[in-house]
Amino acid sequence: MGTSSTRESGVGVTEVELDVTNVAHGGVFVARHDGRVVFVGDTLPGERVRARITDDGHKSFWRAETVEVLEAAPERRPHVWSEASVDRAPSERAGGAEFGHIRLEHQRELKRQVLADALQRMAGVETDVTVEAVAPPAGATGVAEADGTCWRTRVRLQVADDGSIGPYASRTHRVVDVGSLPLATVRIGEVAPLTRRFPGAAHVDVIAPSADSARVLVVERDGKGRPKPARHGVIHETVAGRTFRLETGGFWQVHARAAETLYHAVQDMIDEGDFDPRASNLDLYGGVGLLAVAVGDRFGETVRITTVESDARATEHATENLAEWIGANALTDRVDRYLQHVTREAGAAERRSFEAATVVLDPPRAGAGRAVVDRLAAVGPRQLVYVACDPVALARDVGLLREHGYELRELRAFDLFPNTHHLEAVARLTR
């Protein structure tokens, strides 16, 4: 499979015809040109496209952008966001919905392939996991459920030099003018100031918390042009009948049903037979305490659990959100530094308590990494429940944990980011 032609465009940019054969991590797809791998966006396996080479600076691969679909795959559909469609010039295509041209059920199959392939290659683990659909928020239309729209409760809009706002074009820092935000909830759409200008601002965040009114946050720049830290007050989110406090600009899951989905998934994933409520249970990268609360709600108010989070304000909120659990504690610390302290300072009885523990960890997109995995394995908890938003980072860390004797026992994946390449996975590992 390869190109049928190669030509120079009027501005000296190479354009090629490509047969697309596979999906790759990161929202791009795989083709070959004269034996060289080409990663190309805005297409899908089974298509033939005309593409423009955008990066030929690597020996082993090139990058390209689809200019025209010559032979469409049966899974292609009209893009859910017209301003991201392949019909527009690549520099004018809104980023953030890179799978929006693919039928929803096939998106999930492609995500499954990426997750399964990463686990096989990087961890030596075979899995038959599926990517589970998640219902749109209450009030969304039937069309939203069918096409995967109306789920984002948080949108960041970038600011152009003239003060206009919009998303970046894919893999660029060019701001695209848009008139719609179809992945966002109806409440976001009602308040998003798409026609206004914000000269000098760093970015504009639009958020719609479940227990508060929607709002617009304008983040200004400091004297060096960097985003200026600001306190925007407190908002509230409701999950499983509980209300959580957090900073207005603080981290929270973006899908309207994501927090509740992960709350229940973590509860279900913990093996009750391996759970000791009196052990030194941990919630690492704990944010404002959502998953620690999930553990407490399942196993009772006397559960011992410590949430560890590097953001001091998030930890303050976690302390309040966990107030009813007498065995709960919230610490401000980096996870690697906390685990290092545990391995160095814990006495024999404390070490036994950690070895009997269940550890929930929800690291950022880059994953936990070797330093944290090595220190976590040295602590030696009985079971790990790993929440991951990046399949490759998860696969790498599962492989690292296997080096320490931990094996993947159970895995679920959720389509919490429809029309993008992202997914969320929850894994349980034990020695």
User: Which residues participate in catalysis according to the annotation?
Assistant: 389
pTM (whole model) above 0.75: yes
Q: CA 337: distance to chain centroid?
A: 24
Give the pLDDT confidence score for residue 256 in this predicted structure.
Answer: 95
Please state, in angstroms and rounded to a whole number, the distance separating the CA atoms of residues 154 and 130. 26
| Residue-range domains of the chain with CATH | 6-76 (2.40.50.140), 108-137+255-430 (3.40.50.150), 142-231+240-247 (no CATH)
Give the pLDDT confidence score for residue 4 in this predicted structure.
Answer: 43
- Is 263 annotated as a binding-site member? no
Can you tell me whether residue 234 is helix, strand or coil? strand
Please state, in angstroms and rounded to a whole number, the distance separating the CA atoms of residues 399 and 370. 10
- Is 309 annotated as a binding-site member? yes
Quickly list DSSP for 285-309. Answer: T-TTSHHHHHHHHHH-TT--EEEEE
Question: Tokens at residue 161, please?
Answer: 């030099």
Q: CA 180: distance to chain centroid?
A: 22
- Is 285 annotated as a binding-site member? yes
Backbone angles phi, psi at 429, to 5 degrees: -130, 140
Q: Which helix (H) or strand (E) holds 361?
A: strand 358-361
Whether the CA torsion 138, 144, 148, 153 is positive or negative: it is negative
Question: Tokens at residue 83, please?
Answer: 């301003």
pLDDT < 70 stretches in the chain: 1-13, 139, 141-142
Residue from 407, 359, 420, 357 nearest 386 by CA:
359
365 and 328 in contact (C-beta within 8 Å)? no
Q: Beta strands 242-247 and 234-239: pairing type?
A: antiparallel
18 and 33 in contact (C-beta within 8 Å)? yes
Residue from 35, 176, 216, 25 nearest 111 by CA:
25
Count Cβ atoms within 10 A of the Cβ of residue 44 and give its class: 0-12 exposed, 13-18 middle, 19 or more buried. Answer: buried
Torsion of CA 394, 397, 253, 323, to 10 degrees: 150
Question: Tokens at residue 71, please?
Answer: 């032979």
Give the pLDDT confidence score for residue 349 in this predicted structure.
Answer: 87
Q: Which residue has the tokens 């009985």?
A: 382
Give the pLDDT confidence score for residue 248 in this predicted structure.
Answer: 94
- Is 362 annotated as a binding-site member? yes
For residue range 183-241, list pLDDT tens digits in order. 999 999 999 999 999 999 999 999 999 999 999 999 999 888 899 887 789 999 999 99
